Amino acid sequence: MPTNVINVRDLEEEDVKLLESLVERLRAIRRKAKGKMTERKEGGFERSAGSWAGLIDGEELIRNIYADRLISTRPEVKL
């Protein structure tokens, strides 16, 4: 039997109702936490937009990228 299954046959009706209410509360907490995490993830990109503006010159960055592409770090092939 899986560990997350409770045999309710041996429990009183009051206990079953208590367990059902606890399970529903836990599910509500999980849904609420999941919703907050989704909001954080979705808003992160927008919040970070432009955060490096002024720290790096865009044109200089592009020049450095193209200059770095010209540098070969591989050893010369010997045939």
Higher pLDDT, 3 or 60: 60
Please give, one letter per residue, the 3-state secondary structure of the chain. Answer: CCCCCCCCCCCCHHHHHHHHHHHHHHHHHHHHHHHHHHHHHHHHHHHHCCCCECCECHHHHHHHHHHHHHCCCCCCCCC
The 10s digit of each residue's pLDDT in 19-35 is 888 888 988 888 887 76
Q: How big is the chain by its Cα radius of gyration, in Å?
A: 29
- The DSSP bridge partners found for residue 56 are 53
The 10s digit of each residue's pLDDT in 52-69 is 777 888 889 899 999 999
56 occurs within a structural domain: no
* The model's pTM: 0.37
Q: Provide the residue range defining the domain that includes 20.
A: 10-49
Please give the tally of structural domains in the chain: 1
55 occurs within a structural domain: no
32 occurs within a structural domain: yes
28 occurs within a structural domain: yes
Q: Cβ neighbours of residue 6 under 8 Å, at least 6 residues apart?
A: 19
